[in-house]
Structure formats: structure tokens, C-alpha cells
Amino acid sequence: MAYNSFHSRIPEPALRRLPWYLSYVKLLKKQEHTHVSSTQIAKKINVSASQIAKDLSFVDITGKTRVGYDIDLLISVLEDFLGFTKMHSAVLFGVGSLGAALLSDSGLEQYGLKILAGFDTDNSVIGQSINGVPVISADSFLETNKKLNAQIGVLTVPSGVSQQVADYMIEGGVKAIWNFTPFRITVPEDIVLQNTSLYAHLAVMFNRLREHE
């Protein structure tokens, strides 16, 4: 909330670029640099220095003339702004191939996403535990989420049921849905929807590859 009281809403393209800057300045820190200018970032990231300065103006940091931004401060401010330092509770629906893979990816936790439970309707996976995360019957979600209080729902179910499962997650109190299915679900206005279709990205890559043939 603090950010939004003092800053205007950051446009999504700018928001999407911030992790690039973070990733690069973390590399500089490893190389024992202490300061970085937007011009320096620009050279490496292929975004103009003025765009970078503008993007960073949404974050609570100011660079100094000649020396640039303090790297430690920039990292901590960016991680904070991006939400990576706060743990966000999540549940995952659909413990199939991709769902199980995401449960196994402990990297998500380093970026602030803690998946507390996986839900499925398939008795052969219910009762299992993947990377320490229990897989529970989807039927018990409404009851279970009163305790878990997960705000984020990761959606990795078969496309055919993605809308109905999304509705069910929202009924259980989920405020944001991370949709990995290729299905275009709709959600009420007060619910955050993030689509990440790996298969759509694959399609773009295959198509561009064919053009280069």
C-alpha cells in the first residue's frame, strides 16, 4: 500500500523490466561492484538509459550524479518492490505433469511464492507429498483454505475444467490466479489474473524457427 500512496501505478511493461535490472545488478554485486549507472545497465540490457531511469523512478530509489545507484540498496529496494522478500501463500490445482513440476521447483519460494498444498481429484496422487507439499482432495479445498488462507491459486488443470476450477478457487478465497493452462479464463474485476502459457511461448518459438529455416 505504501508504494501506491506515494507513487503512481507502474505500467506493466516497466514492471516486467525491473526483474532484468535486478538480475543484472545482482551479477555486478557478485563481481564486487558497489555502484551502477543507468547507462551501464542500458549497455547490457538493451533498454535505453532514459527508459531505465524512468522505470526506476517508480521504485523508491535515487541515483547520485556520477556514481549512480548504490548496488546493495538497489537490490534490496527492487526485491522489496517486486514482492520477492515477502512470502505469499499459494495453493496449486492439478497435480499432473506440469503441476508436479512446479511443486518440485523450490526456486519459486526464493522469489516469494510458497505453495502450501496441491489439490487434485485423482485418487492416485491424493495423499502423496511432492517436495514436502501435500496433495489433498480437491473436495476439501473450501474447508482447508479457511486454515491455509492462501491468496494465490496456481492453475495447472486440464484446459477443459480450468474455468470451473478457477471459479472454485475464488469461492475458497483466492485473490489471484496464476493460469498455466492455454485456456482463456475470465475472473471478476477484483481478482488478479496472470496468464503464463508455456505452450503459447513454444508456439511462438516454433513459428519463428520455421521462418528462419
Is residue 205 at the binding interface for a second copy, with CB under 8 A as the rule?
yes
Any idea which residue has 474447508 for its cell? 143
In the chain, which ranges are E strands? 35-36, 69-70, 88-93, 113-120, 129-130, 133-137, 152-155, 176-179, 192-195
User: Residue 16 or residue 146: which is nearer to a second copy going by CB?
Assistant: 16
Pairing state between β 129-130 and 133-137:
antiparallel
Is residue 124 at the binding interface for a second copy, with CB under 8 A as the rule?
no
Q: Minimum Å distance from CB 189 to a second copy?
A: 10
For residue 16, give the 3-state DSSP assignment. Answer: helix
Q: Binding to a second copy (CB under 8 A): which residues in 153-192?
A: 159-160, 175-176, 178, 181-184, 186, 190, 192
Q: Minimum Å distance from CB 194 to a second copy?
A: 4
Q: Which of 5, 32, 132, 211 binds a second copy (CB under 8 A)?
A: 211
Q: Which of 111, 139, 149, 164 binds a second copy (CB under 8 A)?
A: 111
For residue 177, give the 3-state DSSP assignment. Answer: strand
Report how far apart, in Å, the C-alpha atoms of 48 and of each of 11, 15, 40, 58, 173 are.
17, 15, 10, 16, 41
Is residue 5 at the binding interface for a second copy, with CB under 8 A as the rule?
no
8 to 37: interface string for a second copy, x by CB under 8 A: -xx-x--xx-xxx-xxx-xx--x-------
